[in-house]
């Protein structure tokens, strides 16, 4: 496992480095990436052998609490940054908190600004949820030759801007295959087929927690049912507690502290003496 110095200069072990990700294709390797927002999710990803996680930049401290080793990418588009200076500030904050890279769906000028500061930056191409109105809704991007050519142009621009990797969302697998073979960017596929350097799914989809599993995802568990059972059991327990309070059945002798009878008698006697001393003459 590579040993690095993080952005604050502290020694740290990482599952992979930026250099490893850039060199995946030449090495014939493929990695996995999932989302995380809590220490438990980050710890589970590390325990499962997942090399990379992505999170909102505000969640980096929580993710690092759960795992000191996974490669963490901070999404910096969701923390209120308006100007490029804001974006740079949020990126540096995320790196100081333990992120290894940042990802932005902002324009090429923003990517260029971050890369100019030697910040490892990923772009986001294909379907970008916050830009869905530009595509007329939720759909794959690159299904026509003109749209695929425009997408390829964006890949080239992103590489020229200094990004080292790109999240590729909802691009037809055949189009992704051709782009992957030609781009110098490390590719991260979210619903864009298997031909990419990194395959990415949301943890909530993998674990069966989402209300609707997207077509490109696969559920490996049914945590939603377990959460429902937990919620129902919580309500049952609280209901029984309230009923016991109403019936005078809580607490009983098992749930109260005991006092030695002699000590209690001495206490009561002392109270009596205080009461008599305080009575008016």
Question: In terms of domains, do 80 and 215 share one?
Answer: yes
Residue numbers of the domain that contains 236: 227-278
Shared domain check, 251 and 129: no
pLDDT score for 114: 97
Does residue 194 sit in the same domain as residue 257?
no
Measured CA to CA, the distance from residue 79 to residue 170 in angstroms comes to 24
Catalytic positions, written as ranges: 169
Whether residue 127 sits in one domain with residue 237: no
**How many Å apart are CA 184 and CA 163, to the nearest integer?**
10
Neighbours of 10 (CB within 10 A): 10
Tell me, yes or no, whether 112 and 190 share the same domain: yes
Task: Write down the pLDDT at residue 30.
Answer: 97
Tell me the residue ranges of DSSP E strands in 26-170.
31-35, 52-56, 71-75, 101-103, 121-126, 165-169
List residues bridging with 123 in a β-sheet. Answer: 166
Write down the pLDDT at residue 280.
66
- Pair 124, 98: CB distance under 8 Å: no
Do 240 and 116 share a domain, yes or no?
no
Q: Domain check: are 99 and 194 in the same one?
A: yes
Neighbours of 172 (CB within 10 A): 19
pLDDT on residue 79: 78
- The total number of structural domains in the chain stands at 2
Residue listed under structure tokens 């009596």:
272
Q: Look up the CATH number of the domain holding residue 70.
A: 3.20.20.60
Type and span of the H or E element at 13: strand 11-13
Domain termination residue (choose one: 176, 194, 219): 219
- 10-residue stretch averages of pLDDT, the chain, 281 residues long: 93 97 96 98 98 98 98 92 93 97 96 97 95 90 96 98 98 98 98 98 96 92 96 98 97 94 94 74 57
């Amino acid at each position: 496992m590579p040993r690095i110095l993080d952005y604050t200069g502290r020694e740290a072990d990482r599952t992979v480095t930026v250099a490893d990700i850039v060199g995946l294709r030449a090495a014939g390797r493929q990695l996995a990436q999932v989302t995380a927002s809590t220490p438990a999710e980050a710890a589970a990803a590390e325990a499962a052998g997942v090399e990379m996680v992505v999170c909102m930049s505000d969640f980096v401290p929580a993710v690092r609490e759960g795992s000191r080793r996974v490669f963490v990418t901070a999404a910096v588009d969701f923390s209120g940054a308006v100007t490029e200076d804001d974006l740079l500030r949020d990126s540096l904050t995320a790196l100081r908190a333990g992120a290894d890279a940042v990802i932005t769906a902002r324009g090429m000028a923003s990517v260029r600004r971050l890369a100019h500061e030697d910040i490892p930056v990923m772009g986001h191409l294909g379907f970008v949820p916050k830009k869905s109105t530009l595509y007329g809704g939720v759909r794959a991007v690159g299904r026509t030759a003109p749209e695929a050519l425009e997408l390829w142009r964006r890949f080239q621009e992103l590489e020229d801007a200094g990004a080292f990797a790109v999240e590729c969302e909802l691009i037809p697998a055949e189009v992704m295959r051709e782009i992957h073979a030609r781009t110098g960017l490390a590719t991260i596929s979210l619903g864009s087929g298997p031909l990419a350097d990194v395959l990415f799914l949301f943890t909530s989809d993998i674990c069966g927690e989402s209300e609707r599993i997207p077509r490109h995802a696969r559920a490996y568990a049914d945590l939603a049912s377990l959460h429902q059972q937990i919620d129902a059991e919580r309500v049952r327990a609280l209901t029984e507690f309230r009923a016991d309070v109403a019936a005078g059945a809580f607490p009983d002798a098992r749930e109260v502290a005991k006092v030695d009878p002699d000590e209690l008698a001495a206490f009561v006697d002392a109270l009596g003496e205080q009461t008599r001393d305080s009575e008016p003459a």
